[in-house]
Structure 1
Amino acid sequence: MRNLDWDGLRNVRDLGGLATRLSPTGTTIMGRVARGPRRELLTSAGWIAAARWGLRSIVDLRSADETGPRDADPAAPPPADLTITLAPTEDQTHPEFRAVCLPILDSPEYWQHNVRILPELIRQTLEAIASSEPGVLVHCAAGRDRTGMISALLLANAGVSSDDIIADYAESVYAMAGAAPHGSPTHDRQASWTREQTTAWLGTVTPHVRAFVADRGAVLDALDVSAQTRKTMRELLIA
């Protein structure tokens, strides 16, 4: 039920429906936040399906030079009434980010370094989500790595268990493995992986996801996320 069919677009999923003791319903609420890949892949039918889901706003985690349609994209611009906010989590020109993170951008191993090197960018991303109208799509290029990091923080802040957050991350990795390259700033080795290779790799990187979300409070402290922003993000998924 969490996977969304927006005219066959890969890797689109509602962050609702996950167990949390913080919600009166016992789960995160459907129809509030979705995660996905680059919006330029949506067809006209996909935009209609997204509107039926309740799409009202988009927070794009990519850098400005990654945005915009490509030759192979469908000719289907977004509805004019959508609010689209560019809130990049990365500065790919930053020397330390390039040296430390670019070699591991397709692994959650880089999340902790992104927090350490560019905390102000990730804080601004979370503030953009908190101020968005519910029915928000959070996306990057593949909807897997940057979106995985931000989704993990949103879910952890809403009281979702580490196991469920890991499973949500893994679902995006499986969804994009073997897919065509998505245009991230580095080569995507996962574009050629089989399911067996993906499963083996997930076994090696899952500890990075678990450590990241287990220390959720310390991560948000390092980002200097205000108490009000944390509360608003939480309420977006549970209130």
Structure 2
Amino acid sequence: MTTTIDIELSAPVNLRDLGGTPIAGGVLRDGLALRADDLSVITERDAGMLVDAGLAAVIDLRTHDEAALTGRGPLAGHPVAYHHLPLMESIRAGMSDGGTRVIEHVAMGEMYARMVEGAAAQLTTALGIIAFAPGATAFHCAAGRDRTGVLAAVLLLALGSEDDDIVADYARTHANMPAIMQRMRPTMGALMARLGFDLDAMAVSFPDQPMDISMHTMLARLRERHGDALAPLRAAGLDDGIMNRLWERALA
């Protein structure tokens, strides 16, 4: 894809370490897993700070079109492993369900559950990367809410976190949404316009309800259909070796 979009580098507005989240046997340590909004457009200064703090790997959950738009960004100039693991084929596919646009919290949760089922192999690979990376792993999509929230949720499930703690982490993004939308506008706004979506209109039309509804819905639907919310990942290769290594590193 070619583009004439002027990309303005900026500091992340939805970056946080999952450290401190309760897990089985204690709390997740700092410096293992970071979730973020788009890391491809961070400043050179922020890229250097992340690497200096121990960043060893980046998992990019964006679609191929999104990744082609901005590439890897400043982190490409640092010794950081890069893994592109798209959780959906396209933005258009992710934003609709049978022709109906997904702009409501329960519908978002339904979409998250389908994402876990449809991208179980990518999510399992991502957990393996986090388990065996020689330092911290950061994972991101565009906003750091939906695809990033799904990976954060399955990671915390694998570590034995309770639903309330998983939902609480997901819901922390709510306060950041105005800054996220502003940061995304030059890149995602242009891409979504090409696909027939108006990013600003979608933000206005999104219901003013607690975000936690979406994550509660995802967890409920997965258990209704599979019993174990991690069953799709187990079928895709999530084994005791990965789970044990994650737990050992999480509590180290």
Q: Same fold (TM over 0.5)?
A: yes
1:85 aligned partner? 83
Sort the Cα spacing of 1:52 and 1:102 in 2 relative to 1 into closer, same or farther, 3 A: farther
Cα shift at 1:147: 0.6
Does residue 1:226 correspond to 2:239, yes or no? yes
Q: How is 1:209-220 mapped onto 2 (pairs within 5 angstroms)?
A: 209-211=218-220, 215-220=228-233
Checking the alignment, whether the CA contact within 8 Å between 2:36 and 2:140 is kept in structure 1 is yes
Checking the alignment, whether the CA contact within 8 Å between 1:176 and 1:191 is kept in structure 2 is no
Cα shift at 1:145: 0.6
Aligned partner of residue 23 in structure 2, secondary structure: coil
Cα shift at 1:35: 0.5
In 1, distance between residues paired with 2:139 and 2:78?
18
Cα shift at 1:117: 3.1
After superposition, what is the alpha-carbon deviation per residue over 1:22-59, rounded to whole angstroms, capped at 9, x for unaligned?
2xxx2101011100011122112211221233211111
Q: In structure 1, which of residues 100, 103, 109 is the aligned counterpart of residue 101 of structure 2?
A: 103
Q: How is 1:18-37 mapped onto 2 (pairs within 5 angstroms)?
A: 18-22=21-25, 26-37=26-37
In 2, distance between residues paired with 1:43 and 1:69?
17
Aligned partner of residue 167 in structure 1, secondary structure: helix
Sort the Cα spacing of 1:171 and 1:150 in 2 relative to 1 into closer, same or farther, 3 A: same
In 1, distance between residues paired with 2:22 and 2:164?
11
Question: Which shifted more, 40-49 or 217-226?
Answer: 217-226
Give the total of aligned pairs.
225
Percent of aligned pairs with the same amino acid: 23
Checking the alignment, whether the CA contact within 8 Å between 1:40 and 1:68 is kept in structure 2 is no
After superposition, what is the alpha-carbon deviation per residue over 1:216-235, rounded to whole angstroms, capped at 9, x for unaligned?
34343344422222223333
Sort the Cα spacing of 1:62 and 1:172 in 2 relative to 1 into closer, same or farther, 3 A: same
In 2, distance between residues paired with 1:157 and 1:217?
8
In 2, distance between residues paired with 1:222 and 1:104?
27
Sort the Cα spacing of 1:112 and 1:56 in 2 relative to 1 into closer, same or farther, 3 A: same
Sort the Cα spacing of 1:117 and 1:37 in 2 relative to 1 into closer, same or farther, 3 A: same
Checking the alignment, whether the CA contact within 8 Å between 1:134 and 1:236 is kept in structure 2 is no
In 1, distance between residues paired with 2:166 and 2:221?
10
In 2, distance between residues paired with 1:95 and 1:197?
21
Q: How is 1:160-199 mapped onto 2 (pairs within 5 angstroms)?
A: 160-177=161-178, 179-180=181-182, 181=184, 183=188, 187=197, 188=199, 192-193=203-204, 198=208
2:65 aligned partner? 65
2:148 aligned partner? 147
Cα shift at 1:197: 5.1
In 2, distance between residues paired with 1:189 and 1:17?
34
Checking the alignment, whether the CA contact within 8 Å between 1:33 and 1:134 is kept in structure 2 is no
Does residue 1:136 correspond to 2:137, yes or no? yes
Identify unmatched segments of 5+ residues in structure 2. Answer: 1-9
2:216 aligned partner? 207
Aligned partner of residue 62 in structure 2, secondary structure: coil
Look up the equivalent residue of 2:244 and give its one-letter code: K
Q: Give TM-score, length-normalised by structure 2.
A: 0.72
Look up the equivalent residue of 1:91 and give its one-letter code: E
Checking the alignment, whether the CA contact within 8 Å between 1:115 and 1:222 is kept in structure 2 is no
In 2, distance between residues paired with 1:79 and 1:101?
41
Checking the alignment, whether the CA contact within 8 Å between 1:119 and 1:223 is kept in structure 2 is yes
Question: Which shifted more, 132-141 or 106-115?
Answer: 106-115
In 1, distance between residues paired with 2:210 and 2:12?
24
